[in-house]
Amino acid sequence: METLEYIETKNTDFESINGNYGKYGGMYVPPVLESILKELYEKFKIIIQTSSFQEEYIRLLKTYVGRPSPLYYSKRLSEHIGSKIYLKREDLNHTGSHKINNAIGQILLAKHIGAEEIIAETGAGQHGVATATVAALFGIKCKVFMGKVDSERQKMNVDRMKMLGAEVILTKNGTATLKDAVDAALEYYIQNPNSYYLLGSQVGPHPYPTIVGYFQSVIGKEAKKQILEAEGKLPDNLIACIGGGSNAIGLFSEFLYDENIQIYAAEGGGEGLIIGKTAATLNMGKPTIFQGTFSYALVDENNEPVEAYSIAAGLDYPGVSPQHSLLKDEQRVKYHAVTDKEAIEAFKLLSVIEGIIPAIESAHAVALAIKLLKDKKNEISIINLSGRGDKDLDREFF
């Protein structure tokens, strides 16, 4: 059996969790969906243990996605900050972000289950593109639900999804953004249980946070091996941006039990810590039942979900992962809000000093590193560069 050394193919750590992260997580869905999702979890546990699944997953990660992604010593950024910085280059993956790691894993799951159709939600369109891509790869029909407002902001990704053969279904409900797209996809799923819902972040009802966390954990497994090769020791700090939480947990999970490592995540602070002007869910939200799970969410005084705002469409979501909700309460991970303005500065800086145009989402992590690590000369840090910035170049911030 072909293996990549960095993947523990028989990792069953998640089993003890069983969908609950402390008081967070769970499955708050209508009964029809509950039985489908329970079955999905049982199948997931069995399928990922098989060598046929692991072989195909690993082969595609290597030869289709281009993994392992490099761990790049970012010399000029290190000099600028005064601390040693490595970038985990998820921006170099096929389709331009970490989303494809999860999409590949889940399409294989869908194939093994015998799903006739793939459905997905998308905000910025990155997950929609990743899903349309893997659906094309396997010749499975694909529908992507998207808010109409988002589709107007992200036209290039709508065109990419259509080119890849997916049907893009626009929803005008609510604020016509990501939250409404998730609602539309869940609704369709309830009515079409033979489809497979390929969820894009570490959110939603059990078992999705477990599944997505598992498929993204390849990031941290590679990074651990790479930093040991480069430095002969583990890093002092890890930093990632967080929308739903998938790229962050992907990097962090392999390091959570190394207590000497400080772990930080950058939320989309938007225009500041004001409800309605921010996407900083873990800083400004409350524990609530939201879109199938119990987690922090941005709510108003009546505990109704409110719209999130961030310049980064990938961070612009009023909910967040139940696992990150627990990691916040335990203070294992420190969550900071990074404003639009700080992210734009970091976006421009990384472009001109490293020749790497980051996704505006990832620029939030770079901005946080600049703030936290200034002149920490003897420390080594890894920033997760979750995606590339081509999609952001026609934005008004230039």
Ligand X SMILES: *Cc1c(COP(=O)(O)O)cnc(C)c1O
CA distance 256 to 182: 29
Binding mask 367-386 toward ligand X (x if CB under 6 A, else -) reads -------------------x
177: nearest Cα among 339, 319, 310, 316: 316
The reply to whether 293 sits near ligand X by the rule CB under 6 A is no
8 A C-beta contact, residue 88 and residue 385: yes
Q: Which is nearer to ligand X, 54 or 126 (CB)?
A: 126
Out of 247, 253, 281, 288, the only residue in the binding site for ligand X (CB under 6 A) is 247
Stretch that binds ligand X, among 16-24, 162-170, 235-243, 338-346 (CB under 6 A): 235-243
Q: What is the DSSP secondary-structure string of 169-233?
A: EEE-STTSSHHHHHHHHHHHHHH-TTEEE---SS-SSTTHHHHHHHHHTHHHHHHHHHHHHHHSS
Pairing relationship of beta strands 195-197 and 117-122 according to DSSP bridges: parallel
Binding mask 158-187 toward ligand X (x if CB under 6 A, else -) reads ------------------------------
Q: Which residue is at the shortest CB distance from ligand X?
A: 387
Q: Minimum CB separation from ligand X for residue 248, in Å? A: 6
CA distance 276 to 68: 39
Q: Which is nearer to ligand X, 53 or 347 (CB)?
A: 347
Out of 241, 279, 343, 363, the only residue in the binding site for ligand X (CB under 6 A) is 241
Stretch that binds ligand X, among 47-55, 163-171, 223-231, 245-253 (CB under 6 A): 245-253
Q: Which is nearer to ligand X, 205 or 245 (CB)?
A: 245
Out of 54, 246, 281, 381, the only residue in the binding site for ligand X (CB under 6 A) is 246
Q: Is 330 helix (H, G, I), strand (E, B) or coil?
A: coil
CA distance 141 to 161: 12
CA distance 71 to 64: 19
Q: The tokens of 13 are what?
A: 């750590």
- Per CB under 6 A, contacts with ligand X among 190-209 are 201-202
Q: Using alpha carbons only, how large is the chain's radius of gyration in Å?
A: 19
- Per CB under 6 A, contacts with ligand X among 57-96 are none
Out of 362, 366, 380, 382, the only residue in the binding site for ligand X (CB under 6 A) is 362
CA distance 71 to 62: 15
Q: The tokens of 184 are what?
A: 């539309």
CA distance 195 to 188: 9
Q: Which is nearer to ligand X, 26 or 245 (CB)?
A: 245
Stretch that binds ligand X, among 3-11, 23-31, 328-336, 357-365 (CB under 6 A): 357-365
Strands in the chain per DSSP E: 20-21, 24-25, 71-73, 84-89, 117-122, 141-147, 167-171, 195-197, 237-242, 262-270, 286-290, 293-297, 333-339, 380-385
The reply to whether 292 sits near ligand X by the rule CB under 6 A is no
Q: Minimum CB separation from ligand X for residue 118, in Å? A: 18
Which spans in 8-93 are helix H?
31-47, 51-60, 75-81
Catalytic residues, by residue number, are 99, 121, 386
Pairing relationship of beta strands 71-73 and 84-89 according to DSSP bridges: antiparallel
The reply to whether 337 sits near ligand X by the rule CB under 6 A is no
Q: Minimum CB separation from ligand X for residue 107, in Å? A: 17
Stretch that binds ligand X, among 55-63, 158-166, 291-299, 356-364 (CB under 6 A): 356-364
Q: Which is nearer to ligand X, 113 or 149 (CB)?
A: 149
- Per CB under 6 A, contacts with ligand X among 93-132 are 97, 99, 126
Number of residues in contact with ligand X under rule CB under 6 A: 20
Stretch that binds ligand X, among 43-51, 149-157, 243-251, 274-282 (CB under 6 A): 243-251
The reply to whether 226 sits near ligand X by the rule CB under 6 A is no
Pairing relationship of beta strands 293-297 and 286-290 according to DSSP bridges: antiparallel
DSSP label of 23: T
- The footprint of ligand X (CB under 6 A) covers 97, 99, 126, 201-202, 241-248, 314-315, 359, 361-362, 386-387
